[in-house]
Amino acid sequence: MIDVAIIERNPIFREGLMRVLAQAGFKALMTYETLRHFAAEDLGGCEKLLVVADLEAVDGTIEDAVAAIRARIVSVQIVFISDCVSEAVLKAAIQHGADGLLRKQISCPALVKSLELILLGERLFPVLPFDLTAPVIRDPVSDFLNSKCTEALKRLSSREIEVLDCLSVGSPNKVIARKFGIAEATVKVHVKAILRKISAKNRTEAAMWAKNHGVDAASAHRPPTTSRIDVAPLAGKEGIAFPERAMIGHRDVAPST
């Protein structure tokens, strides 16, 4: 297990934290009253270190503390703990490269699991409560673009939504035709209509548009296309022909002869 350095001004909390981590299997525990004491310590052959530092034991800013710790050892993961976490403290910890910020009110099992996750490469930070009564700052440009995309999605028929969903995963016309029991010519008609309605130049743009605007979700929540038969105008007897197979509801039926 990695070496652990605890920087904590309160002797009772420092001793308690050391015992909790020792019982959890952390080895080579080192304790310091302040960051200055840690900075003056000769770390010797320590190659990798986890530093758990109470913000009250840190002199100066979080940026200075991170820099001072990393100056002592290159391979280090830094976790700050604090009684009170403000938005400014949270931002500073994230922006200046801390690996985690934990509240002192955390339970012992949760603390151990959090440190284990951080050792695996994760970064952990608390979620601050937000004011539900605060006014929402809207972006007029984003609102306009979102409304335009919603309008475009509403213009698509149920079948076009299904076809667009297939385009988003790169399905060719033959596969789409087989999936819905329609002719390839009909698929081409649908694709052409989709490109026009969403202002896409080609299938690639249509696929990107679909992924960016949740077409898969829209397809999942729309009722299945069951009220009509998709046919394409093909040449045949008396100028009318049907595809080889047509889907009605959930039954595949062959066209009558």
Domain boundaries along the sequence of the chain? 3-119, 140-253
Distance of CA 40 to the CA centre of its chain: 41
Question: What does the pLDDT look like over 43-69, one tens digit per residue?
Answer: 766 778 899 999 988 878 999 999 988
**Which candidate, 60, 61, 41, places its Cα nearest to that of 51?**
41
Judged by DSSP in three states, 27 sits in: strand
How does strand 251-253 pair with strand 246-248?
antiparallel
Fold of 3-119: Rossmann fold (3.40.50)
**Which candidate, 220, 206, 108, 102, places its Cα nearest to that of 158?**
220
Q: Which pLDDT does position 81 carry in this prediction? A: 93
The torsion angles phi and psi of 153, rounded to 5 degrees, stand at: -65, -40
Fold of 140-253: Rossmann fold (3.40.50)
Q: Which pLDDT does position 117 carry in this prediction? A: 92
Model-level pTM?
A: 0.50
Q: Which pLDDT does position 84 carry in this prediction? A: 84
Which positions of the chain have pLDDT values less than 50? 132, 141-142, 144-145, 217-257
Judged by DSSP in three states, 8 sits in: coil
Q: Which pLDDT does position 159 carry in this prediction? A: 87
Q: Quick check: do 3-119 and 140-253 share a fold?
A: yes
Crossing angle of helices 184-198 and 173-180, in 10° steps, is 110
